[in-house]
Structure 1
């Protein structure tokens, strides 16, 4: 029986998870693939930090030793950073190897180029593990795109931020104390900037945009806001009103422009993301035929990420992994008006007539209906906090109340 010869780049948490998963489930993989999956080489950055005793596997810090192996079918990228991962995978594809990556930062920057090269060389490129860990969002979207048109995607794509917001609300912790707890548990790095500022979620949103729309949003036009400015007072106030803060990445297409945001929003208990807590990730998809689909699960970790990589290995022959952008389907929608919560000194707040008051739910909180563009203008001219509200307001019992009458609102014309 012939074997599938695999090289593994990186032997940290994810790399170890992939190695152990393949070794433990070898018989199952043989049944599915009809071949043995054989890891023939592992690349590490510093040899002296590892103890390796399997003489049948090349353990090296030199990528040239790997790319020149006589038998090499698949290269799995489990390292971090744009380089050297991009260069390594480009060399592997040029050699004719199938590749699989969990490197979201690299793929957000160079995914289009790698997909094009993979198509040219007639090899597959798997990237399920770049978004939401063990949640099979990439394959789900690819299958949906066969018939459905995806209207919008909203997701909690970073477990660290979600953990911090959960602990602040449940245990009355300050942001600083919740972050420290996340670091103690190993959920946050010593430098947590990418997680708490939304950079990690943005990279994942970029990858999803490629899958759904066949192109990326304009990076400089993306709205990315972190959670570091949220206070315990704000979290407890909105909790008393039946709302929870979530750090949500959102994608949708308006006319020819892809709108991408990563920011703290408020969700009602009718929204699928309301119950997503701790380090869980979740993605809500709105499509024209199937309607709403929600996927939830572990967004990171040794075995959830390894699961996504091994599933890509099983799908390695699926040439849709290198599908061209023009095959993607989408809705083109006009700019939509959404519900926003304005928090702060609202008694004498002057609103233009294109921002409609929905209801006042607290002396310091009023709900309005308007577009994101008008909210941005409002935030720059007033010292108030503005949070989008996701979910059906009319279904939320806590938020039921009489509409504020127009004559009681101060407008500036």
Structure 2
């Protein structure tokens, strides 16, 4: 019986997870695909840092060796950064190989080009693992929402940031202490910039934007804010009012423009993300027929990501799916919304005439209602004030604090 031959690019956490899962789930893969699935080559940067998993596998630092393998069917990209993954996948597609990638940064910037090339060559490209790890967001949108129009997507797409915000609230620790704990648990890299400054979530948002709207906003137009300015005191104040910090990606289309925001917000108890804790990811998809659909699960790690890669493998030769459809988002709350402002008492007096105060939840925090542009101009005038969008139904729960 002939086999489905795979080359694996990268042998770090994701690459090892893919290899181990192919080995452990070989019987199930054969049932689904009708053939054995065989990793015939692994590309690494430094062979001295790895143990060769099998003598039958070509273990190499030279991608050209992989391109010369006869009957190579699939190339799986498990490396990071825009390059060399983009160049490798272009070559693989040109040779007629199907490709699967877990590289979110590369696919955020080059996914459209790769998909166009794959279509011309008559091969498939899978990218489930680029967005929410083991949470099947891509396949849900591509296969299960073909009649529904997508209105808006909100998502927690970075487990590191979600863990930090959850743990700061539960343990009462500082950002720096909790970040160190995240590193100790393996949830944060030695350089956690991509996670805590929102770049990782931004890449994933751009992948979703291209999938849903067939276009992306320009990088300059995306609001991206990390979680580094959130203080333990602010989390404590928010908790006393029944609110929790979450780092959320928002995607919607108005007119001809796709809007993408990556920012920390405060959610009420009624919001679907209120109970999403730790390293979990969650995606809420607003549709015209079903209403809101929420998917939740582990967003990173060896086996959740491997699961996403192998689910893509099963789908590669399936009938092509119609592109997702969408409608313009028209919720009035996008033009007039609630915010929580953290500021001192004397500062409250300065803006009471220009911004409607809904509730004073603490002597250093108020809930206000205002249009985005008013809040933006207010922030320019008072740069020392931290403000966060408030999502979910809100009613005053705390006695008014006098100014």
- Using the size of structure 1 for normalisation, the TM-score is 0.92
Query: Equivalent residue of 2:351, what SS?
Result: coil
Residue 153 of structure 2 is aligned to residue 153 of structure 1 = yes
CA positional deviation for 1:150: 1.2
5 Å matches for 1:301-320? 301-318=301-318, 320=320
Partner of 2:198: 198
Q: Distance in 2 between matches of 1:89 and 1:293?
A: 33
- How big is each residue's C-alpha offset from its partner over 1:232-257, in whole Å with a ceiling of 9 and x where there is no partner? 11111111111111111111112211
Partner of 2:257: 257
Q: Distance in 1 between matches of 2:110 and 2:155?
A: 22
Partner of 1:388: 389
Q: Distance in 2 between matches of 1:73 and 1:371?
A: 53
8 A Cα contact 1:214 1:328, kept in partner: no
8 A Cα contact 1:280 1:298, kept in partner: yes
Partner of 1:168: 168
CA positional deviation for 1:154: 1.0
Q: Distance in 2 between matches of 1:374 and 1:260?
A: 19
Partner of 1:245: 245
Q: Distance in 1 between matches of 2:7 and 2:319?
A: 21
Residue 332 of structure 2 is aligned to residue 331 of structure 1 = no
- How big is each residue's C-alpha offset from its partner over 1:186-212, in whole Å with a ceiling of 9 and x where there is no partner? 111111111000000000000011111
5 Å matches for 1:87-126? 87-126=87-126
Query: Equivalent residue of 1:393, what SS?
Result: coil
Query: Equivalent residue of 2:326, what SS?
Result: coil
Query: Equivalent residue of 1:266, what SS?
Result: strand
Call closer, same or farther: CA 1:165–1:291 in 2, change over 3 Å.
same
Call closer, same or farther: CA 1:344–1:75 in 2, change over 3 Å.
same
8 A Cα contact 2:148 2:325, kept in partner: no
Residue 61 of structure 2 is aligned to residue 61 of structure 1 = yes
Query: Equivalent residue of 2:148, what SS?
Result: coil
Q: Distance in 2 between matches of 1:150 and 1:119?
A: 24
8 A Cα contact 2:150 2:325, kept in partner: no
- How big is each residue's C-alpha offset from its partner over 1:312-338, in whole Å with a ceiling of 9 and x where there is no partner? 0000013547x66xx643325375322
5 Å matches for 1:221-232? 221-232=221-232
Query: Equivalent residue of 2:186, what SS?
Result: coil
Q: Distance in 1 between matches of 2:337 and 2:19?
A: 46
Q: Distance in 2 between matches of 1:165 and 1:297?
A: 17
8 A Cα contact 1:145 1:212, kept in partner: no
- Using the size of structure 2 for normalisation, the TM-score is 0.94
Q: Distance in 1 between matches of 2:61 and 2:183?
A: 29
Does 191-200 or 364-373 show the bigger shift? 364-373
Partner of 1:210: 210
8 A Cα contact 1:149 1:331, kept in partner: no
Partner of 1:186: 186
Partner of 1:45: 45
8 A Cα contact 2:152 2:329, kept in partner: no
Partner of 1:342: 341
Partner of 2:24: 24
- How big is each residue's C-alpha offset from its partner over 1:87-109, in whole Å with a ceiling of 9 and x where there is no partner? 00000000110000000000011
Call closer, same or farther: CA 1:183–1:122 in 2, change over 3 Å.
same
Partner of 2:268: 268
Query: Equivalent residue of 1:386, what SS?
Result: strand
Query: Equivalent residue of 2:239, what SS?
Result: helix
Call closer, same or farther: CA 1:109–1:317 in 2, change over 3 Å.
same
Q: Distance in 1 between matches of 2:320 and 2:285?
A: 20
Call closer, same or farther: CA 1:330–1:320 in 2, change over 3 Å.
farther
Unpaired runs of at least 5, structure 2: none
Call closer, same or farther: CA 1:352–1:118 in 2, change over 3 Å.
farther
Query: Equivalent residue of 2:308, what SS?
Result: helix
Partner of 1:83: 83
Unpaired runs of at least 5, structure 1: none
- How big is each residue's C-alpha offset from its partner over 1:265-323, in whole Å with a ceiling of 9 and x where there is no partner? 001111111111111111111111110111111100000000000000000013547x6
